[in-house]
C-alpha cells in the first residue's frame, strides 16, 4: 500500500531528475505596417523545448508538462508596452524516458511605434516549483530608414512557405509560415527556407535577389532568385530557399541582397542560424489550442 502511495511521487521525482534546465527561445522579427505613421508589426515567437520540462502522470501511460511563459515588451523608460502570460502544454506522451520531446510554441503579433525597446521572456516550469524562473532578454530597435528600399527581418522556416488565402498569426503576405525556433536546422534538413518582406520600392521595377550563406569557419553557399513584381505602397513578400547540401555543422549568417538590373545593391538584411547535423529535430512545434 505504501509503495502504491509513493509511486506517483517517485514518477514526478524521476521526471524532475531527468529533465534538463528549462529553455526559452525568443525569435523576434520586425515588419512595416500599412497604416499611416511610423509604426511596426513585431512578431514574437516563443518556444519552450519539451526536453527541459518535468512531465507528470495524468493517467495510466499518459504524461504531460506545462510551462508558464510571461512575455513583455518594455519601453526605454522601463514601462511595459505589452505584457501577457500564457501556459503552454506540450503534447501528452506515454513514456518520459524518450530522448526527444516535442516543443510548444506561441506567436504574438503586436503593433508598436518607432523607438527603442527590450523584449523580455520569463519561463516557469509549472511542476518545478522551487526553481528560479528562466529569463531571456534582447534589445529591439524599431528604426527602419524612412526612404529607399528596406527589408524586414528574416524569418527562418522549417519547411517551404506555402501560399494560402487564410488569415491568422501564422500567415504573412499570403504565405503560411512554419518557423524553425532559434534558426536551428538539425539532421535531415537539407534545405534552408526563409521569409522576409521588401518595402519602399517603385512599382514594376525589375529587381533580383542574391543569397549568401557563410559559416564562422568560412564554409559558404550562394544563390540568385528573381523577385516578384513590386507594387508601390505595398510590401513585396519574398519566400526564399537555399540548399544546405554538404555544408558542415556550425553557426552561419545568411545575407539577403536586393539588386537592381545594373547589379547595384539597394537593400541588405542578415540573419543568424545554426546547422546541427548530429542532432535530430523534433516535429514542428505544436501550436497552443
CA distance 8 to 105: 28
The model's pLDDT over 141-188, given as tens digits with 9 standing for 90+, comes to 999 998 889 999 999 999 999 998 888 888 999 999 999 999 999 888
The radius of gyration of the chain's CA atoms, rounded to the nearest angstrom, is: 21
Q: Mind listing the pLDDT tens digit for each residue in 107-126?
A: 999 999 999 999 999 999 99
Bridge partners of 155, per DSSP, are 195
CA distance 210 to 243: 14
Q: Among 42, 55, 45, which Cα is nearest to 8's? A: 55
**How many helices (H) does the chain have, and how many strands (E)?**
1, 21
pLDDT value of residue 64: 92
Other beta carbons within 10 Å of 97: 8
The model's confidence at residue 280, banded by pLDDT at 50, 70 and 90, is: low
Quick one: cell of 172?
504573412
Per the CB < 8 A criterion, the answer to whether 195 and 54 are in contact is no
Greatest CA span in the chain, whole angstroms? 82
Amino acid at each position: 500500500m505504501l509503495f502504491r502511495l509513493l509511486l506517483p511521487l517517485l514518477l514526478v521525482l524521476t521526471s524532475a531528475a531527468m529533465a534538463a534546465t528549462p529553455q526559452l527561445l525568443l525569435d523576434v522579427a520586425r515588419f512595416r505596417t500599412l497604416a499611416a505613421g511610423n509604426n511596426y508589426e513585431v512578431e514574437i515567437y516563443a518556444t519552450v523545448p519539451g526536453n527541459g520540462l518535468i512531465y507528470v502522470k495524468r493517467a495510466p501511460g499518459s504524461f504531460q508538462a506545462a510551462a508558464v511563459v510571461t512575455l513583455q515588451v518594455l519601453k526605454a523608460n522601463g514601462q511595459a508596452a505589452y505584457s501577457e502570460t500564457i501556459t503552454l502544454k506540450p503534447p501528452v506522451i506515454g513514456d518520459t524516458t524518450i530522448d526527444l520531446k516535442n516543443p510548444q510554441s506561441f506567436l504574438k503579433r503586436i503593433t508598436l511605434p518607432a523607438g527603442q525597446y527590450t523584449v523580455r521572456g520569463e519561463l516557469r516550469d509549472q511542476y518545478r516549483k522551487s526553481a528560479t524562473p528562466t529569463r531571456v532578454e534582447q534589445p529591439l530597435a524599431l528604426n527602419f530608414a524612412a526612404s529607399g528600399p528596406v527589408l524586414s527581418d528574416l524569418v527562418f522556416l522549417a519547411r517551404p512557405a506555402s501560399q494560402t488565402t487564410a488569415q491568422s498569426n501564422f500567415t504573412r503576405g499570403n504565405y503560411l509560415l512554419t518557423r524553425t525556433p532559434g534558426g536551428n536546422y538539425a539532421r535531415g534538413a537539407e534545405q534552408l527556407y526563409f521569409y522576409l518582406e521588401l518595402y519602399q520600392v517603385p512599382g514594376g521595377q525589375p529587381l533580383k535577389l542574391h543569397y549568401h550563406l557563410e559559416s564562422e569557419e568560412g564554409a559558404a553557399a550562394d544563390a540568385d532568385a528573381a523577385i516578384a513584381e513590386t507594387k508601390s505602397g505595398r510590401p513585396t513578400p519574398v519566400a526564399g530557399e537555399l540548399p544546405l547540401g554538404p555544408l558542415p555543422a556550425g553557426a552561419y549568417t545568411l545575407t539577403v541582397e536586393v539588386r537592381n538590373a545594373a547589379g547595384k545593391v539597394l537593400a541588405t538584411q542578415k540573419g543568424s542560424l545554426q546547422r546541427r547535423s548530429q542532432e535530430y529535430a523534433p516535429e514542428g512545434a505544436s501550436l497552443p489550442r
